[in-house]
Amino acid sequence: MIPMTKREAWLAIALSEGIGPKTFTKLVSACDRLGLPPAELLSRGEGELAAQLDLSAAQMESLAELEQTARAVEALAGDFDEQNITYSLRWEEDYPSKLLERMGGSAPPVVFMKGSPEALTCPLAAIIGSRTPTEEGIERASACARTLADEGYGVVTGFALGVDLAANVAALESGTPTVAVLGAGILRIPSRRRVLDEFALERILFLSEFPPLQTWNTGATMARNRTVVALSDLAIVVEAKRRGGSVEAGRAALQLNVPLFAYSDSPEPILAEGTRLLIDLGATPVAQSCDILDQLDALTEEEPSSNGKGQQMEMPLDA
């Protein structure tokens, strides 16, 4: 096997096909329990390892190819250096603490970042909605971003067309940071000329939990949506059909106890079906961006203040 640091080995494991957050957590726990570095753990007999950790044949096959995965990552080192891309494993200092606080063992094992990590230090509002919104939806997304920017909030979105892009642009025009969570790898940032050409990376952070060269797919988008809301202090759904990523993001916010707001109407009735469903499930209805501030004031009065520190995942003993 090629020489790997323990950090490189954990990165390769995190990027191995079929090794999701829960399996990654099991591997970290096993290394801690047995006092073994990851490479030594994986060198054990396949049958013994699979039985101990309840791993499938496909997962074992993927872990057996750890060296190839590590080589593929190593080959991208030049791209990472050239584009100032970094990565953080769950237990490392730069890993977003809100992901651990909200998601625990289901948090992404690794995140790749490009741009301004300072964007994660301010309160964040997720602005969510249709890729094909109405003009009213675009204006609402922009108004939310501007209103919340005045209150010191940054904006986090999935960097899709439509509502997401309108919110990103309005936030940047207001001088507040914006976080773009990708549904693809960090080397697959979509071409959004209005953002990439007009605004400097000093106020934009691109974040991805996927292998660097992974292309967009539906499953990744759904996982991305959960990360968007987990990074946020509140979430707003502007327009949404009854089925789709925007509604699922809203459901995730409710599951993760992120305060959720939703517009109760839309000039296009089908784009109000999803927001009304979320209101039925527990989202707070709003009609304009200032309503969100009023509701936030009420929430602040009702809830004890947070110290802003997230859960810290225990570092593997061998890391």
- What per-residue confidence (pLDDT) applies to 1? 56
d(CA 231, CA 229): 5
Across 3-16, average pLDDT: 91
Q: Distance (Å, rounded) from C-alpha 183 to C-alpha 195?
A: 17
Residue 301: pLDDT band (50, 70, 90) is: low
**DSSP 3-state assignment of 283?**
coil
CATH no. for 115-302 = 3.40.50.450
Closest CA to 178 of 211, 144, 226, 212: 144
**Quick one: which of 71, 66, 2 has its CA closest to 38?**
66
Q: What is the pLDDT of residue 238?
A: 97
Structure tokens at 70: 């590590």
Average the pLDDT over 198-215 and give the result. Answer: 87
Between residues 238 and 5, the one the model is more confident about: 238
If one compares 273 and 312, the residue with the highest pLDDT of the two is 273
% of residues, the chain, pLDDT over 70 = 90
Say what the pLDDT of residue 184 is: 96
The predicted structure's pLDDT at residue 315 = 59
Q: Model's pTM, two decimal places?
A: 0.90
Least confident of 112-126, 199-213, 245-259: 199-213
CA atoms within 13 A on the CB side of 261: 25
pLDDT computed for residue 224 by the predictor: 96
Domains in the chain: boundaries: 1-75, 115-302
- When the pLDDT of each residue in the chain is averaged and rounded to a whole number, the result is 89
Q: How high is the pLDDT of residue 307? A: 34
